[in-house]
Structure 1
Amino acid sequence: MRSRFDSQLALLNTKLIQMGALCEEAISKAAKALEAGDPALAETVKPLEGEIDQMERDIETLCLKLLLQQQPVARDLRQISAAMKIITDMERIGDQAADIAEIIRACLAQGYVPEDVGHIREMAAEVIKMVTESVDSYVQKDTVRAKLVIAHDDIVDQCFDRVKQVLIGSIAANPDCGEHALDLLMIDKYLERIGDHAVNIAEWVIFAVTGEHKGEAL
């Protein structure tokens, strides 16, 4: 019985890794679409959001089966409960990546192609790193890595502040571009929120291992 339970836990880990990889791909494609001014690439993010949503449902079903059929002990119960929380955050990450792609698509449809988005690309790379590390820390039951993800959020917040200041400067220099600068600021804000969700995931990892939880970011 225990060997079957362990194999199902291993399957749960595999599915979480796959879901995390889809989130990373969605963020990466959205960022590349912005940098390249490529509406076709932006369009590819929406189907990924659908795959992420489906994986959330699949993993939730697996977790419920483990809870109902296997009657897990305390640590296993925390691991499964944490997984159910984690997939909610990953689903929201998928939503926010899709929102970024939609903003990009709308800007490009209006003929606006951002010229200097290197700072946003860098921020996207930082949040992808956080998502990857947070999911890996769950699979490895590694609270040290989870705590590094939480600490890394300060870097993403600093990126957000830098991008915000650049965009404020752009609006001051050219008020006619104010609407599109606000679009870029929204993209920046969505990336910052993705970082917050990665922090949530890391906090649930710590809960799964130790039983302690500080609470989700709002």
Structure 2
Amino acid sequence: MSQQHETDYIRLKALIAEMAKECETMIEGSVKSLVDRNSDLAREIIAWDDKVDNLDIEVDALCRKILALYEPKAVDLRFVLTASRIIVDLERIGDYSVDIAKEVLRLNEIPQIKPYIDLPKMGEASAVMLNDAVNAYFNKDTGAAYHVIKRDDIIDGLHSQIIRELLTYIAEDIKKTTGVISLMQITRCIERIADHATNIAELVYFMVEGKIVRHQKLD
């Protein structure tokens, strides 16, 4: 492997790590803006999306360069292909964080409907899933990836529980419908963030073993 070849691989890993960290920060910030009713923070998260989009473009260009110039084989090829897929999930996670922040701005214009207990837990769990999935990618660790995939069931359970609870608020007072719909949207966004973290974990299996496990039940 030439020095430039190695430099490009190191750069690719660094960019993926940076993009993942930015997304994790956006998740945490968007949920914090909800809990604290902090509209300024919500606006920061919305503006933050440009950083993730720019990293997405940069990583995509680097992946294309590596594939064209070095023609990687076997595990190296799967590493680059996986990187090109991971940035799609990371970019969508950034978008969902922005969607949460936009709903927070709407919610902050009306009285708070309920204390936020399970939503912050759900958001924190999703951010941890993302962190663990990306670490599994860097460490080529299918065991860690498996645990991320299994945790998605916990997020799905919280999603269903929160939606059921929110529906009771509409039943009790129809005037709360607008706020409840925004909270449902936020809950859905967090659930989708966890799904994208799961996608990244599933890609680790492809990279390490050359096996596609998406849409399959892992035991």
What band does the TM-score fall into relative to the shorter chain? over 0.9
Matching residue of 2:38: 38
Matching residue of 1:65: 65
Query: C-alpha separation between the residues in 2 aligned to 1:43 and 1:55?
Result: 20
User: What secondary structure, in the 3-state scheme, does the structure 2 residue paired with 1:37 have?
Assistant: coil
Query: C-alpha separation between the residues in 2 aligned to 1:187 and 1:46?
Result: 14
TM-score (norm 1): 0.94
Matching residue of 1:173: 172
Structure 2: where are the runs of 5+ without partners? none
- Aligned residue identity for 1:38: N
1:159 and 2:158 correspond: yes
Matching residue of 1:125: 124
5 Å-filtered alignment, 1:64-213, equals 64-108=64-108, 110-213=109-212
Matching residue of 2:55: 55
Query: C-alpha separation between the residues in 2 aligned to 1:87 and 1:129?
Result: 17
Query: C-alpha separation between the residues in 1 aligned to 2:192 and 2:207?
Result: 23
1:2 Cα deviation after fit: 4.1
1:169 Cα deviation after fit: 1.7
Query: C-alpha separation between the residues in 1 aligned to 2:49 and 2:211?
Result: 31
| Percent identity of paired positions between Structure 1 and Structure 2 | 30
CA root-mean-square deviation = 1.5
TM-score (norm 2): 0.94
Matching residue of 1:214: 213
Query: C-alpha separation between the residues in 2 aligned to 1:214 and 1:137?
Result: 15
For structure 1, which segment, 120-129 or 11-20, has the greater mean C-alpha deviation from structure 2 after superposition? 11-20
Report how many residues are paired.
216
Query: C-alpha separation between the residues in 2 aligned to 1:8 and 1:141?
Result: 19
Contact 1:171 1:181 in 2 (8 A): yes
Matching residue of 1:4: 4
Q: Cα–Cα, structure 1 residues 81 and 195, in superposed 2: closer, same or farther, change >3 Å?
A: same
Contact 1:126 1:156 in 2 (8 A): yes
Structure 1: where are the runs of 5+ without partners? none
